């Protein structure tokens, strides 16, 4: 799908993977909706980088856990450009809790994490689908996690929410064709400040070193490498739908999952 002159919504695009994806799409001539929930400064920085590529942008503060916000964001894009060609469901949340700490997660923690990571992604798809169908084409990429296939990650609730997102990708791909393709990426450890802050600097550095010495490719993902895969699903995979691409340097091939060390 040629994305030049098209329109993409990238949720959670004030930093990290979302920001990298917005900029890469702008470099391909795609107009971009930049979404944030809290970090307006980061969103404006992403906007400036996108505008430097000569495209139009729209910055929207929206909490994708709220259906009204999802519909408002899709409507704003449709009103400005009259089309939506791509959606990147990147916004996510978590709580860092050791998997063996069963008392560390409350019912509300599960609900809060699912509200963004799973239900929020669904609400965004529901909001953009009519516009994509009207235009006769669309590509949706859900940003899940290797936690979905290995049962690892920041918490059991997070892993479960991303597993649900992968399953939802299959269901949506089945019903939204032929106009809309739906795929997912499952990054492993992504280098960046968000993960460093969540894990703590010592655990972050230790885990990075461990993965870069034990995974088959001896490397970990970056926002740009994850964005490369997302852009492939949008631009270069016209016959692909319902697929999940793992981006972890081969971590999932190891016999033992990464546990807290």
Catalytic residue numbers, as ranges:
158
Helix (H) or strand (E) holding 246: strand 244-247
Helix/strand/coil percent split, the chain, to 5? 50, 15, 35
- The three state secondary structure string of 189-214 is CECCHHHHHHHCHHHHHHHHHHHHHH
Q: Are residues 28 and 4 in contact, defined by beta-carbon separation less than 8 angstroms?
A: yes
Strands (DSSP E) contained in the chain are 7-10, 31-36, 57-61, 86-89, 138-143, 180-187, 244-247
């Amino acid at each position: 799908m040629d994305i030049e002159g098209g329109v993409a919504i990238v949720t959670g695009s004030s930093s990290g993977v979302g920001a990298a994806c917005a900029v890469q799409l702008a470099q391909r001539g795609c107009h971009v909706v930049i979404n944030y929930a809290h970090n307006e400064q980061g969103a404006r920085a992403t906007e400036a980088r996108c505008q430097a590529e000569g495209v139009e942008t729209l910055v929207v503060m929206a909490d994708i856990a709220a259906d009204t916000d999802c519909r408002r964001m899709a409507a704003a894009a449709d009103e400005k450009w009259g089309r939506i060609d791509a959606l990147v469901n990147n916004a996510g949340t978590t709580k860092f809790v050791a998997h063996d700490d069963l008392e560390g997660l409350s019912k509300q923690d599960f609900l809060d994490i699912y509200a963004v990571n799973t239900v929020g992604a669904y609400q965004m798809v529901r909001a953009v689908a009519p516009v994509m169908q009207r235009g006769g084409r669309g590509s949706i990429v859900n940003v899940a996690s290797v936690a979905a296939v290995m049962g690892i990650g920041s918490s059991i609730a997070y892993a479960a929410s991303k597993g649900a997102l992968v399953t939802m990708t299959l269901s949506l791909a089945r019903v939204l064709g032929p106009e809309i393709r739906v795929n997912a990426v499952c990054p492993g450890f992504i280098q960046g400040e968000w993960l460093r802050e969540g894990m703590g600097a010592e655990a972050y550095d230790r885990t990075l070193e461990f993965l870069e010495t034990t995974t088959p490719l001896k490397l970990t993902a970056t926002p740009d490498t994850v964005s490369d895969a997302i852009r492939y699903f949008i631009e270069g995979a016209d016959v692909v739908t319902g697929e999940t691409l793992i981006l972890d340097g081969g971590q999932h091939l190891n016999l033992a999952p990464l546990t807290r060390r």
